[in-house]
Amino acid sequence: MKKALIGFCIVLVAIAFFIYLIQQENSYFLLVLGDTSIEMNFWFAVGVLLLALFLVWLCVTMINRSAKKVYAVHQKIIGRSEKKAQLKTTQGLIAFIEGDWSLAHKKLVLSARHVSSPIINYLAAARCAYEVGEEQEALKLLHKAEKAPGNNELAISLTQARMQLSNKQYEQALATLSRAEKINPAHKVVLSLQKSVYYALSDWPALKKLLPILHEKNIGTLEERYYLEQTLCQATVKDNIEKNSALSNEQRASLLEGCVNNLPAHFRKDSTILTLYINTLIELNAYDSAAKVLARNINREWNESWVKQYGLLNYSDAQAALVQAESWLKQEKNSAVLHLTLGRLCLQNKQWGRAKDFLLSSIAIKPLPESYAELARLQRYMGDEKDSQQSYQQGLVATAGTLLDVPVFPVRHS
């Protein structure tokens, strides 16, 4: 209050002094514009000029304040609009995660115009449109995403590639991923999608080239990468079989052995690869080679499917095969499959008594249908027709598994 009073007094003194100066007629101001001249007291002219400057300042200040108020109101409106848009975007993304494609598409598209970064809205909405079968709408939204501010080319390419991969458009997906690779060749998602496309196309050379990068960047689980490499090894073996189909069986078996020996060490012991190798040798009638592979790997790792297969081969030296199989009894004496295999090998060696003993011991350990069938054939050959029929019946029951527990059927009388 005191400062205001002092200021008011100063203004009054200044005005009084200014009026005094105006009343003095010792100076004047002359303004000439062409034929027109304006003459007035100098101090009066100064006062008019100061008043004009004050009015200009006052107008500018008022306009500035009005503009600030309008801007503040505008920002408030925009803020509310952005909040609503963000809420709709959040709701749309939740619906997207839940798989409600129609609702997600609607909310994401409506809110895209009011958010600062609409790229997420457009990409997610494009995926929603694709999921409900509206491919043209999906492409339209992808084009909108391309025009959105920011560097979005990689994200758009990945979204499009995922949709193409999901629709089994593998060639188109590969072309899209090629564009993405140029943007960022080391991107993990790009590499992962390339892996999926190559696998779907059975492009084994490309997949083989990509595999070291997948290992280096730790893309996918260890189990997934192992399975992928296993598939590549299987493809290599199958390709070798098909490529040499015009050669003799002996030549093909020799080349196949070289192919398997060139596989990575841990896959030369892989059961899936070995089973493929063994089955192919059997198809090529290379029984002795198959027997060697089986015996070597059974000694290393007990595998009953291999043991069963060992008893089904046609041997040039069946006695040596029997001796080899008998050596496994020390560790696996309670294996019904091994006793079945020994029985079959004894049949090849025409050791009928031993064959029967092994088959009966196999049934005693576990009643396998194959054991009953081999025993029935042997009994029929030896003239035990009744026992043979009974063995066939028991084998049939073993094949059927558990039967319904019913009373004995009464005998029908005609």
307: in domain: yes
Does residue 322 form part of some domain?
Answer: yes
Quick: pLDDT tens for 129-168.
877 878 788 878 877 877 777 667 888 888 889 888 888 8
Instruction: Round to whole Å and give the CA distance between 12 and 15.
Output: 5
Beta pairing class for 36-41 and 28-33: antiparallel
Which segments of 262-286 does DSSP mark as H helices, in order? 271-283
Higher per-residue confidence, 208 vs 43: 208
Is the pLDDT reported for residue 277 higher than 90?
A: yes
pTM exceeds 0.75, yes or no: no
Residue 265 lies in a domain: no
Tell me which DSSP letter residue 257 carries.
H
Report how far residue 343's alpha carbon sits from residue 379's, in angstroms, rounded to the nearest whole number: 13
Say if residues 314 and 280 touch (Cβ distance below 8 Å): no
329 assigned to some structural domain: yes
Q: Is the pLDDT of residue 413 over 70?
A: no
More confident residue, 259 or 8: 259
Is the backbone of residue 350 left (phi > 0), alpha (psi -120 to 50) or beta?
left
pLDDT category of residue 409 using cuts at 50, 70 and 90: very low
How many other C-beta atoms lie within 10 A of the C-beta of residue 379? 20
Residues with Cβ within 8 Å of 353's Cβ and at least 6 positions away in sequence, in order, are none
Number of domains in the chain: 1
Q: Does residue 378 lie within any of the structural domains?
A: yes
In this structure, what token pair is assigned to residue 373? 């069938």
In the predicted structure, residue 373 carries a pLDDT above the cut 50: yes
Tell me if 199 is assigned to some domain: no
CATH of the domain at 363: 1.25.40.10
Average pLDDT over residues 25-54: 69
Q: Could you identify the residue written with the tokens 């042997």?
A: 378
Domain holding 344, by residue range, is 286-399
Is 250 within the bounds of a domain? no
Q: What mean pLDDT, rounded, does the chain reach?
A: 83
Q: How far apart are CA 277 and CA 259, in angstroms?
A: 10
pLDDT exceeds 80 at position 338? yes
Q: Is 326 domain-assigned? A: yes
> What Å distances lie between residue 74 and 65, 80, 88, 164, 274, CA to CA?
14, 10, 21, 43, 74
Give the up-direction half-sphere exposure of residue 362: CA atoms within 13 A in the CB hemisphere. Answer: 25
Contact 316, 345 (CB under 8 A): no
Q: For the residues 231-240, what does the mean pLDDT come to?
A: 91
The pLDDT assigned to 79 comes to 53
Q: Tell me what the mean pLDDT of segment 302-308 comes to.
A: 94
Mean pLDDT to the nearest integer, 171-196 = 91
